Amino acid sequence: MTNKLDGLSMNLENANMEKLKAVFPECFSEGTLDIDKLLSLCGEYIDNDFEKYKFEWKGKIESLKLAQKRSTGTLRPCKAESVNFDETKNLYIEGDNLEVLKLLQTAYYNKIKMIYIDPPYNTGSDFVYEDDFADPMARYKEITQQTTKSNAETMGRFHTNWLNMMYPRLRLAANLLREDGVIFISIDDNEAHNLKKLCDEVFGEENFVADMSVVNNLKGRNDKKYIARANERLLMYVKSMEFEEHGLSLDDSVVSEYKEIDDNGKYRLLELRKRGGPDTRKERPNMYYPFYVNPQSGKVSLEQSEFYSVEALPVKSNGDDGRWRWGKETAAKNIEYLFGKQVGNKYNIYEKDYLEDGEGARRVRPKSVLAGAAYSTDVATKEYRAIMGRVEFSNPKPVAMIKDLIEYATNPNEESIILDFFSGSATLAHAVMQLNVEDGGNRRFICVQIPELCEEDSEAYKEGYTNLCKIAEERLRRTGKKIIEENTQTELGDEEKSPLDVGFKVFKLDTSNLKTWDGTPIQDKQIDLFYERLNAMIDTVKDDRTDMDVVYEVMLKMGIPLDVEVQYMEINDKIAYIVGDFILMICLADKITAEDIEAMAQYAPAKIICAEAGFADDSALSNAHYILKDRAIELKLV
């Protein structure tokens, strides 16, 4: 039987059941889960203590159901507002992120390397993410055409509303992360405690990495009682322990410390004696032992000899016995990297810390406190204004901070997808493009932002920007143009640079392109209305939608990423769209015949998709099914 696309997003309940079936096949009978058998197999790992700690709030179950509710939406391409639509791998999506995350499930499941989000901080100001459990798409249509609502503390469900907004979105986001993926979330003190508990549940307590502090206002803000707040919080969770860090480049102030040089390159001297903490012989006696120095060369040995004649011990400045940072075994393995130097009337031992190791320039881990002028809100605002002038945007994030997170979490030699589904002014996209220029990386971004309306008295509105998405898209156009102008050199060393991808495809959330049956009850005297509905369903594609709208919906529903190339060709005077290397062939023409199907099959696509109403007659559809079955090509209908 020929499969037919239903215009709905991925069925997450079915996907979860398939996971269970793969691990516990014996717990399924005729497709139904035997919960008692599952519980018996889990045995001692089942916790029946009803008094155990749980993180609960009003609406939690409903918000989970909302995450699992299949979306009736789609993402429509908007080539006119894009930059380099046919070549770019970057995506900018206008729409409610809940629905968009649902629509991305099939095509991007387990494919996102890094997520960064800066969600609403729940400060009582505008709060546009008020979900409708019955009809999310209708709610989206409503909020993009009216003023937004706030989440004031006087509403009585201040924290609950925020949790109900975040929970389904984080659930869906977790599905998209690769096993070696990572998520960073900016937040302030209003919801940091709740966000930590929420992420522990969604990503697992064992995958918590850090609760970092970002110092973004050195002067401190006087918006709170008692304390002038100078920082925000940044939570980090990994999908699993498969995550590998890539470190950060050393900043210029540290590089300047590498003043010495030998055959192995530049290095700095780091004293081997332990300073601070348990730094005495009494506390770590096995790390107290002598080195012997050659006073002419400074070379070091653990054995005394004619050449290594001067003893060096870890003696503290007050004369007490200290201890080394390395044990004797580590010192023996790395003796070539040690150097003895006379200081006063004794010799100190130093480690040669090289600027480059076998894998290139040294890299460091970020600290739990991220501080520096480049991380400040003032710098972020200046960066934004340098691009957008008088068009204001509240609290943009600093490019340097996001760039550092991306550099730390991704390998420039891999194709990493980085997602921001509260993308605001599109700082993440800016950071991705800029970092790719700096290190030759091949990262790409997906930004999602609800098209929140600009106030009519705002500078943005006066400049012609009706919603936040239009501001962000213009920022990316200007940023991309600036990057191109500043990087006209075509070569990097002896190798040619790959073309800079500073473009982005724009997609807009909308209802499905495919018609659905109107099941509204009909009165006895409305039989004409019934026949009108039947006639309307003859052509399953809505009248105001284009072929490309349908092509990209088919791609999403069939798990093809939106950056895969789409071309077209004529076959028997009919247009056929080719997705990727003939992954799909989509023909939405009328009067398709068996001969047309034969001609399409010559190209051996994996699947052919046609409009059900597009066949010349029932015989043509029946013949198409048999022609393609013989050639192991799947036929799907819309």
Domain ranges within the chain, ordered by starting residue = 61-247+374-509, 252-361, 533-637
Average pLDDT (338-364) is 89
Average pLDDT (424-442) is 96
pLDDT tier, 380 (very low <50, low <70, confident <90, very high otherwise): very high
pLDDT tier, 224 (very low <50, low <70, confident <90, very high otherwise): low
DSSP annotation string for 76-125: EE-GGGSBSTTT---EEEES-HHHHHHHHHHHHTT-EEEEEE-----SSS
pLDDT tier, 520 (very low <50, low <70, confident <90, very high otherwise): low
Q: What integer pLDDT is reported at residue 142 of this predicted model? A: 66
Q: Can you tell me the distance from the alpha carbon of 257 to that of 354, in angstroms, rounded to the nearest whole number?
A: 11
Residue in 231, 195, 188 with CA at minimum distance from that of residue 370: 231
Residue in 132, 137, 151, 141 with CA at minimum distance from that of residue 65: 132
| Gyration radius of the chain's alpha carbons | 31
**1.10.1740.10, 1.20.58.1690, 3.40.50.300, 3.40.50.150: CATH of 61-247+374-509:** 3.40.50.150
**The token pair that represents 415 in the structure block:** 């194709």
pLDDT tens digits, residue range 1-55?
457 777 777 787 777 777 777 777 777 776 777 777 676 667 655 566 655 668 8
pLDDT tier, 364 (very low <50, low <70, confident <90, very high otherwise): confident
Residue in 101, 174, 111, 170 with CA at minimum distance from that of residue 136: 101
**The token pair that represents 233 in the structure block:** 């919080």
Would you tell me the crossing angle of helices 377-388 and 468-486 to the nearest 10 degrees? Answer: 80
Q: Can you tell me the distance from the alpha carbon of 198 to that of 204, in angstroms, rounded to the nearest whole number?
A: 9
Question: Do the beta carbons of residue 583 and residue 551 sit within 8 Å?
Answer: no
Q: What integer pLDDT is reported at residue 202 of this predicted model? A: 96
pTM, entire model = 0.83
pLDDT tens digits, residue range 436-453?
999 999 999 999 999 999
Question: Do the beta carbons of residue 620 and residue 594 sit within 8 Å?
Answer: yes
Percent of the chain with pLDDT over 70: 85
Q: Can you tell me the distance from the alpha carbon of 197 to that of 548, in angstroms, rounded to the nearest whole number?
A: 43
| 230 residue type, one letter | A
Q: What integer pLDDT is reported at residue 154 of this predicted model? A: 47
**The token pair that represents 513 in the structure block:** 């392109």
Average pLDDT (51-78) is 88
Q: What integer pLDDT is reported at residue 52 of this predicted model? A: 60
pLDDT tens digits, residue range 530-585?
545 555 555 788 889 999 999 999 999 999 999 999 999 999 999 999 999 999 99
Q: Can you tell me the distance from the alpha carbon of 105 to that of 440, in angstroms, rounded to the nearest whole number?
A: 29
Percent of the chain with pLDDT over 90: 65
pLDDT tens digits, residue range 247-265?
888 887 788 889 999 988 9
